Amino acid sequence: MAAGDTLNILGISCFYHDSAACLVRDGDIVGAAQEERFTRKKHDSSFPSGAIAYCLREGGITSGALDLVVFYEKPLVKFERILETHIARAPVGLASFLTAMPLWITQKLWIPDLIRKNLDDYDGKIIYPEHHESHAASAFFPSPFREAAFLTLDAVGEWTTSSYGVGSGNRIEILAEQRFPHSLGMLYSAFTYYTGFRVNSGEYKVMGLAPYGEPKYARMILDHLVDLKEDGSFRLNMDYFGYRAGLRMTNRKFEKLFGGAARKPESEITQREMDLAKSIQVVTEEIMMRTVRHVHEETGRKYLCLAGGVALNCVANGRILREGPFEDIWIQPAAGDAGGALGAALFAWYQYLDNERHLGAEKDFQKGSYLGPGYSEDEIRTFLRDNGLVHRELEPEEVAPAVADLIVSGKVVGWFSGRMEFGPRALGARSILGDARSSHMQRTMNLKIKYRESFRPFAPTVLAERAGDYFEIDRESPYMLLVAQVHPDKCRTIDNGEKKLSGLDRLRVVRSEVPAITHVDSSARLQTVSRRDNPEYHRVIRMVEERSGCPVIINTSFNVRGEPIVCAPIDAYKCFMRTEMDFLALGRFLLDKKEQPRFHDEIDWREEYDLD
């Protein structure tokens, strides 16, 4: 390339879960999005045609202008692992082998052909970093640190299930790894399956259920399932698991150990599931804490970067920050496989092409993770007018006070503003907002807005400058990846009768001044928002504080259970009309549910969206 030319790199991840694409131009993240947001199929694993089309559109280019395409892992090495695993276990696992093979033979082994077929004008090079290299790159390169240790933890890539190493300048180096089948991600997913939730989807439910239980099975897990070493490495006793060459995560020996069959999905949640959730959470935290201490000892670095699906365990992340030996940590917001697309593209720019990495004044290079599509006023106005939807068009300065008035009066508001978030968390671009002071809002929003289990907690967004007044945290948490305790000054004393409650009855207890976001252990998975990252969202919360004295609101993702977070105005409107939300703010257009024309839903969305 000639000096001064720009260089466009497309990163792609797909075929396991949460397919995604990312466009990096001269080291700058131009756009990134998951395929699910375009197909409306949650955790969509298919080739990310929609996400690629968006990235190219955001960059104002066609595929012919791409200089390099990067796939986030090595498909042939992954296929080798699957073959070796099944051959070693034959004839056990024949059914799962036969189930997996058609997709490998028709698609997964032909990634180069598939990429060129979907990128008509591209005839350039395709490179393939390792899966955990992509995770490590996604953790370190967007971070604010010049050098740091990194730790990647997930189910499995090619063979690796976790790795650690060092990032410095424009290089990452993996120093050690753990290999399949010994996997923390797989262990946690086994308990996700056993407690009746969907693997690769419901792990966060297990984390949310854990505070209702006691760790009565933790010793049993460590005695029978996990041989855990002081450095955090471990071996799983595979006699209890079925995932190595089967269609089930656990087996009959696992069921015998824990006293019965797996809970059937959608059946009643009992104290046993709560105790199992607490137990695996405690064991996971112990493994992660030991690992983090070892990584610090081995690398001698001050800072730690995290990625991989296990890095979405914000309870463990909070402990690492509070109790770990590192001065600070940074977690990739799209820590799972979606973030592999971003990591792959950055790996190519820095390590493969050897471009210099410049640190600036920014807190990081993730741009608040607002990397998805945005929609102009004209586009939203045209959508509303073409569909005959009743709305008020506000002046820009009127939006925040109007929405704040609604929140303070107890209304639930769908909030659609700016560019969509990249990653699983809604961060104030595609969010549902409510009053954190309300003692009934948590139950109302779970059952009437999200149509999901009543035990699930809601996350708060708090003004960054006021976070320390409401939560025991001394730094920003912009990506909703840390759990902290609600500040004791904001908590109320629990009486003896309330202390005796157990299980889901504990939901009735008002624990703080912000009960709607206070979990049963008085914790919260918080997002801090600064004026720098999202000025309009920050302004809404500041207006709420002016009206109520409280700088905290409920922020939950703009979707119903089983649906991906909304992407386009039509997605937002459908979700608004299918639920008992009161108002919808689409940019500077405000819609009142009572004023809308009769909604003719062309699908039974509860049948279309599989429960997660």
- Of residues 101 and 389, more confidence is placed in 389
State which H helix or E strand residue 277 sits in.
helix 271-299
Separation of alpha carbons 310 and 152, rounded Å: 8
Separation of alpha carbons 188 and 431, rounded Å: 28
What are residue 270's phi and psi, to 5 degrees? Answer: -105, 175
Per-residue burial over 506-543, b if 16 or more Cβ lie within 10 Å, else e, is bbebebbbbbbbbbbbbbbbbbbbbeebbebbbbbbbb
Residue 30's contacts (CB-CB under 8 Å, 6 or more residues apart) are 23, 24, 55, 58, 59
Query: pLDDT digit string (tens) for 208-252?
Result: 999 999 999 999 999 999 999 999 999 999 999 999 876 689 999
Least confident span in 59-68, 341-350, 533-542, 595-604: 595-604
Least confident span in 217-221, 422-426, 558-562: 558-562
Query: pLDDT digit string (tens) for 73-89?
Result: 999 899 888 888 867 76
3-state secondary structure string across 548-590: HCCCEEEEEECCCCCCCCCCCHHHHHHHHHHCCCCEEEECCEE
pLDDT at 59: 98
Tell me which amino acid residue 246 is: G
Find tokens 């460590």 and name the residue.
222
Average pLDDT over residues 473-501: 90
Which alpha helices (DSSP H) does 429-580 contain, by range?
441-444, 467-470, 496-499, 535-548, 569-578
Banded pLDDT at 2 (limits 50, 70, 90) = very low
Domains of the chain, earliest start first: 8-131+337-367 (3.30.420.40), 179-331 (3.30.420.40), 377-608 (3.90.870.20)
Peptide bond between residue 181 and the one before it cis (omega within 30 degrees of 0): yes
- Per the prediction, the chain carries an average pLDDT of 93
Least confident span in 85-94, 373-382, 500-509, 557-566: 85-94
Query: pLDDT digit string (tens) for 428-443?
Result: 999 999 999 998 888 8
The Cβ of residue 40 has, within 10 Å, a number of other Cβ atoms equal to 19
- Of residues 498 and 542, more confidence is placed in 542
The Cβ of residue 433 has, within 10 Å, a number of other Cβ atoms equal to 30
DSSP character string of 302-332? SEEEEESGGGG-HHHHHHHHHHSS-SEEEE-
Query: pLDDT digit string (tens) for 266-292?
Result: 899 999 999 999 999 999 999 999 999
Banded pLDDT at 606 (limits 50, 70, 90) = low
What are residue 465's phi and psi, to 5 degrees? Answer: -75, -10
pLDDT at 218: 98
CB 442 within 8 Å of CB 458: yes
Separation of alpha carbons 381 and 432, rounded Å: 21
Q: Over the Cα atoms of the chain, what is R_g?
A: 24
pLDDT at 94: 65
pLDDT at 196: 96
